[in-house]
Amino acid sequence: MIKIAISGKGGVGKTTSAINISAGLAKQGNNVLVIDADPQANLTESFGIFDPVKDMYLSFSKGDPLPIVKVKENLSVVPNSLNFAGIELEIAGRMPREIILKEFMQGIGNSYDYCVIDCPPSLGLITLNALVAADEVYIPMEAEFLAYRGIDSIVGIINLVKKHFNPGLTIKGVFFTKYNEQRVLTKEIRNQIKGYFGDNLMKTAIRVNVALAESQSSGKDIFEYDPASNGATDYMSLVKEIIKN
Ligand SMILES: Nc1ncnc2c1ncn2[C@@H]1O[C@H](COP(=O)(O)OP(=O)(O)OP(=O)(O)O)[C@@H](O)[C@H]1O
Ligand SMILES: [Mg+2]
């Protein structure tokens, strides 16, 4: 099982990417588990799960096994809820507090080909748990002025995790979301980021596409909602890069 964490600044498209990368991997015939590690529970709700009876909070707080809900062929979700919002305080005094998710995931065994973790925007204990549990990190980013500054702090945390907890962790790819090729600034930023990340900058950029935003409120992934959209084309191309990686 390849464990992928999707981490990045607030609002860049982490959850949209976690949903559609998971759905795309599943469409390509892989058995996929996607973990909602964010108390905002956007991913959980996007899959049509509201107020789950069992959620990640119960696992972290009470030690229950991770709840797994099958949402479609080849695709299962570990749901979360707002209850998880206080979990960092709850686990802060626990030892060891960084390997909680990793331990739970070892309990899952090898029944999945991929496990995708949707991280919250903050770089606190939850993201730390995700990075300790993961093998690979993918970082979505917007082509905005000084975009690399926001990435600096994530790269810093990833390096600390590598040094102290998870030497095998690798940044497999950085990719643009809400991409608009028509903007002059976009090209400039693409060149900057290419200089910074080299081959780690993925070839696929996810273009701005309203169907991606619409699909979430309809409880569908982009391949079900509008398979002919740019969003579906771009995420499938990204998924193929991930599989090749
Ligand atoms: N390529 C895109 N084109 C248009 N809208 C997009 C695109 N990607 C994401 N969005 C929209 O941008 C908003 C933020 O996306 P998303 O929730 O995926 O970001 P996030 O990084 O998970 O945010 P948070 O940090 O709050 O968890 C959502 O309304 C989403 O529908
Ligand atoms: Mg999110």
Which ligand 1 atom is the nearest neighbour of the CA of 216? 31
Angle, vertex CA 196, rays to CA 192 and CA 198, nearest 5: 105
For residue 2, give the 3-state DSSP assignment. strand
Give the residue whose CA is nearest to atom 26 of ligand 1. 11
Nearest residue by C-alpha to atom 8 in ligand 1: 13
204 CB near ligand 1 (under 6 Å): no
For ligand 1, whether the C-beta of 180 sits within 6 Å is no
Q: Which residues of the chain have pLDDT under 50?
A: none
Is residue 10 lining ligand 1, measured as CB closer than 6 Å? yes
Question: Which residue intervals of the chain are DSSP H helices?
Answer: 14-27, 42-46, 56-62, 87-92, 100-108, 125-133, 147-164, 184-197, 210-217, 222-225, 230-244
Among 7, 9, 16, name the best residue to mutate to test ligand 1's pocket (greatest count of ligand atoms within 8 A of Cβ): 16
Query: Would you say 231 and 209 are in contact if contact means Cβ atoms under 8 Å apart?
Result: yes
Q: Are 14 and 119 in contact (CB under 8 A)?
A: yes
201-212: per-residue pLDDT in tens? 999 999 999 999
- Crossing angle (nearest 10°) for helices 125-133 and 100-108: 40
Q: What's the CA-to-centroid distance between 17 and ligand 1, angstroms?
A: 8
Distances (CA, A) of 2 to 79, 116, 163, 170: 20, 8, 20, 12
Query: If you take atom 29 of ligand 1, which residue's CA is the nearest one?
Result: 213
Does 67 sit in the ligand 1 pocket, CB within 6 Å?
no
All structural domains of the chain? 2-244 (3.40.50.300)
Output the pLDDT for position 146.
76
Token pair 């979700």: residue: 77
15 lines ligand 1 (CB under 6 A): yes
Q: What is the pLDDT of residues 146-184, one digit of tens each?
A: 777 778 889 999 999 999 999 999 999 999 999 998 888
* Per-residue pLDDT, 104: 95
